[in-house]
Amino acid sequence: MNLVLVESPAKAKTIEKYLGKDYKVYATLGHVIDLPKSSLAVDVDKGYEPDFVTIKGKAALLKKLKKEVPKDGNVYLAMDPDREGEAIAYHAAQGLKLKNAKRITFNEITKNAVIDAVASPREIDMDLVSAQFARRVLDRLVGYKVSGLLWKKIRYGLSAGRVQSVALRLIVEREKEILSFVPQEYWEVYVDLVTDEGDVVRFKLAKVAGKTFKAGSKEDVDKIIQDISASTYSVKDVKKGNKKVSAPPPFTTSTLQQAANNHLGYSAKKTMALAQGLYQKGHITYMRTDSTNLSKDAIGAFRGYISSRYGESYIPESANFFRKSSKLAQEAHEAIRPTDVTKTGEALSDAEASEKKLYDLIRNRALASQMSPALYDTYNITAAPTGVEKDYDFVVSAQNCTFEGFKKLWNIQFGKDGEDVQEISKIEKGDSLKNKEVSPLQKFTTPKSRYTEATLVKQLEALGVGRPSTYATIISTIMDRGYVVKVEKKLAPTDIGTIVSNFLSEHFTRMVDYKYTAKVEDGLDGIALGKVKYEPFIDNEYKPLMKDIERIDKEVKKEDIVVLEKSDEKCPECGSDMVVKLGKYGKFLSCSKFPDCKGMKNLESTEFVLDESKFVKEDKCEKCGKQMIIKTGRFGAYWACEDYPKCKTAKPLMLLEKCPECGSHLVERKGRWGKTFTGCSAYPKCKYIKKESKKTSRPKRGKKS
């Protein structure tokens, strides 16, 4: 009898049916050993040795698994094929005191892949384990030490993470750009012209009298409209060409998260949870990967399917290959793809509706990656009004698809892909075009948009910050900490998030520097490849951090950190300027001379940002039908009718989460002694109270290095 250990029960169930009666497959339910939550647990005086302990509740599991270890058979550690999986395998071997455990990995949970892996086991890769330990220890040191300083200088209970702080900086700096942006007025002039074929093509005014058209006011445009409104148009020039659009690569972790967010509205966290389920059920290959490669077997299967389903013209003469610079320590062998290309999402009997949608996205993208290019006839056309004194050049870029190729399966466009490109059937130089409508459009320059989860992941990847397995955790962590909320599906910083980011950016410049953070990731990859040593690497990061902390602790005053912005208000005590500060109960006005002058004023917050991923958005008042608005009172934010005091309707902020007992929305309340808890909004009819997990205790002082 042989024993196989994996992380999850779903994975265990899938593997067990492939291996047969001679194998027992059990799950460790993730990590069994980790750093304790209540202390630093890293000996900085002994080579940054981590003090790992058995995770609470896992001792009984280890005891149970020990009984299953065969006396004569083999033990196979089949955790995921990345450094996190390698560390889980190592700790499982340590916890069970295994002497000759065999490490096996596979990129897909199929019968052939699992059997092949069992036939060619290897030893645990200690370089990968060291890399995971280094990340865990470095994140603990940074988080523990910097969080302690945040508690002291800003507010009790705050925390900071190494990579999360960089992501927060991106969001806060984008918000500052938006707030400081001054819009500029400009005008564009369009004309809708009808071709002989009946196509309506929208042209844009590009030049007037040979010069680039620019208009900053309505008066500038009115003169032009008067000139051209009654004119017919003649095609002045047609530049024809051909365009070939190549198939996109199959998904990596990053591009899957971006596409799922853009097309399906899934968060990075949800996407990875669904992909994990699809992988464990054997439907897709491993979902944490930087690679765009596909195996020869997969390419052969894809090309065969495409040929039989769509025809020979839809497959290129030779297979499509994609080059991408990958971080080898985090790269699986392949891109994300279906394990059986003939199965659509509907054919997955064991998958939920949301899993099926994600699966079809993965399958269509993987199939499309091996299809022929899409072909277009392109036109750059210039038309001019007839019978006018000035030369007006109206232009348009148009195209006509002659062969759809990969777009048969993947015709999803995001961002600027395909923007402003119109399709027409035929147009020639000298053609007369009928004037259907002239449209002057007033516009204003706009700032960059807030980050969505998709664009943030894209930016993190571009900067080299984090790795595929960390993107979802980065975003969920800064949201869980209350530093960031979602507003209309975009990420916006909260006041406390802004304060924390400003503090870190001003005083921990090295820690939140984009290039430096990417360099740290490269160092971790170097450990995984056996090229960088663990202790010198941690030493190089920890000692400068401690010097920064000691300096900041002495030099920086708390009252200077919590300033959000300047104010036009004057201090009632001394007449000095006042500043907006963030206190325990929200914003307030404080004298800029504090602590010499303790003048202050209440400040009713009009800038409360509703986290739509957490709270219900109220619309109309139930009594009078007028708009409900958010107000801030003594006990925090709440909904109230805009017609107050005529209408006194008021409601607490309802959580999206519903009561498991009666189905009403849950609300956050304060108890008798000021402690916050989550209970049913139908109280006292329903007395349900949600049990909260115990919070991490306050960090103890670490040993001096």
| Active-site residue list | 286
Residue pair 338/281 in contact (Cβ under 8 Å)? The answer is: no
Q: How far is CA 558 from CA 96, 251, 325, 564, 582, in A?
A: 49, 46, 44, 13, 11
Distance of alpha carbon 459 from the chain centroid: 9
DSSP 419: T
- β 75-77/2-6 pair status: parallel
Phi and psi (nearest 5°) for 188?
-125, 145
Q: In 393-452, where does DSSP find H-type helix? A: none
End-to-end CA distance of the chain: 50
Q: Is 619 exposed, middle or buried (0-12, 13-18, 19+ CB in 10 A)?
A: exposed
> Which of 164, 162, 167 is closest to 545 using CA atoms?
162
Instruction: Collect all residues with Cβ–Cβ distance below 8 Å to 378 and sequence separation of at least 6.
Output: 240, 241, 242, 243, 397, 398, 399
Residue 531 CB neighbours (<10 A): 10
Q: Is the dihedral of CA 536, 537, 538, 542 positive or negative?
A: positive
> Which of 206, 162, 245, 177 is closest to 512 using CA atoms?
162
Residue 316 CB neighbours (<10 A): 17
Residue pair 345/357 in contact (Cβ under 8 Å)? The answer is: yes
Instruction: Collect all residues with Cβ–Cβ distance below 8 Å to 222 and sequence separation of at least 6.
Output: none
Please give, one letter per residue, the 3-state secondary structure of 335-392.
Answer: CECECCCCCCHHHCCCCCHHHHHHHHHHHHHHHHCCCCCEEEEEEEEEEEECCCCCCE
